[in-house]
């Protein structure tokens, strides 16, 4: 009967289980169509939730589509490109990474850098997501017999890079806050345009982001020759960023 179907479909929609749901009769594998569901369910709120479930299912099925990963919340759908990250979200300007679960693009640090953790005492590498060894061919996974002096040096090195990375993230938040404050001022009547300040804040935000992830890149990079160049470029960028 229609009341039974309405109650059944409403429950499935509210429990986010409507996609691919079948007839409630156990031996029947027929799936209700969108037209049938819309004719049975009368609540506009429930129908809106059903349409969101359809959209979510469609995005999850398409390998070239993804949701914006802005941690502040954004419902924009993004089209993946072939470079690992795309253009800024047209709705919130957030830049996502399409190759890993880290919430934003993290150039110049690679995706592996964002997952790779290292024990400060024995230098054991592991993935922070699954906790499995980072190098399967390494035999002494849990051999923590390294000298204390080396462990102390490793810990100090990590703390230095971590502090630099944290500083740049905080400085980036300052740029975002400043841009938002200037935006609210520029919307007031009889106030001269402040576009140049907004542009400077955007550049400052991007520069701080690159500097933060440069710390991650430098921490894991073992090539001394290339690191000299990277550190020089990073130092130059930091000087110009501080000036800005």
Residues 6+ apart with CB under 8 A from 208: 168, 169, 171, 172, 175, 241
Q: How far is CA 232 from CA 5, 7, 83, 123, 171, in A?
A: 68, 66, 26, 27, 21
pLDDT grade, residue 136 (50/70/90)?
A: very low
Cβ proximity of 117 and 126 under 8 Å:
yes
**Interval 26-84: pLDDT, tens:** 788 888 888 888 888 888 888 888 888 888 888 878 877 888 888 788 888 888 765 55
Domains and CATH numbers, the chain: 1-58 (no CATH), 61-104 (no CATH), 113-241 (1.20.120.1750)
Any idea of the CA torsion for 106, 129, 163, 118, to the nearest 10 degrees? -110
| Secondary structure of residue 41 in the 3-state scheme | coil
Q: What is the pLDDT of residues 8-20, one digit of tens each?
A: 888 888 888 877 7
Residue 189: the pLDDT is: 59
**pLDDT over 60 (residue 137):** no
Lowest mean pLDDT across 90-99, 117-126, 201-210: 117-126
């Amino acid at each position: 009967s229609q009341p039974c179907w309405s109650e059944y479909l409403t429950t499935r929609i509210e429990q986010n289980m409507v996609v691919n749901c079948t007839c409630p009769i156990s031996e029947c594998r027929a799936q209700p169509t969108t037209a049938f569901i819309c004719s049975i369910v009368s609540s506009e709120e429930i129908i809106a939730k059903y349409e969101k479930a359809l959209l979510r299912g469609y995005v999850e099925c398409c390998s070239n589509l993804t949701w914006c990963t802005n941690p502040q919340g954004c419902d924009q759908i993004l089209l993946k490109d072939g470079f690992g990250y795309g253009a800024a979200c047209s709705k919130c300007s957030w830049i996502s990474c399409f190759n890993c679960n880290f919430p934003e693009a993290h150039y110049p640090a690679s995706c592996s850098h964002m997952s790779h953790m290292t024990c400060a005492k024995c230098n054991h590498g592991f993935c922070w997501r699954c906790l499995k060894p980072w190098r399967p061919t390494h035999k002494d996974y849990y051999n923590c017999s390294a000298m204390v002096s080396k462990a102390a040096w490793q810990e100090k090195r990590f703390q230095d890079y971590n502090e630099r990375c944290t500083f740049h993230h905080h400085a980036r938040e300052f740029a975002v806050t400043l841009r938002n404050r200037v935006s609210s001022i520029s919307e007031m009547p009889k106030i001269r345009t402040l576009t140049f300040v907004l542009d400077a804040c955007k550049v400052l935000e991007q520069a701080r982001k690159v500097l933060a992830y440069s710390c991650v890149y430098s921490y894991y990079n073992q090539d001394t020759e290339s690191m000299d160049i990277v550190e020089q470029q990073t130092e130059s960028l930091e000087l110009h960023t501080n000036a800005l």
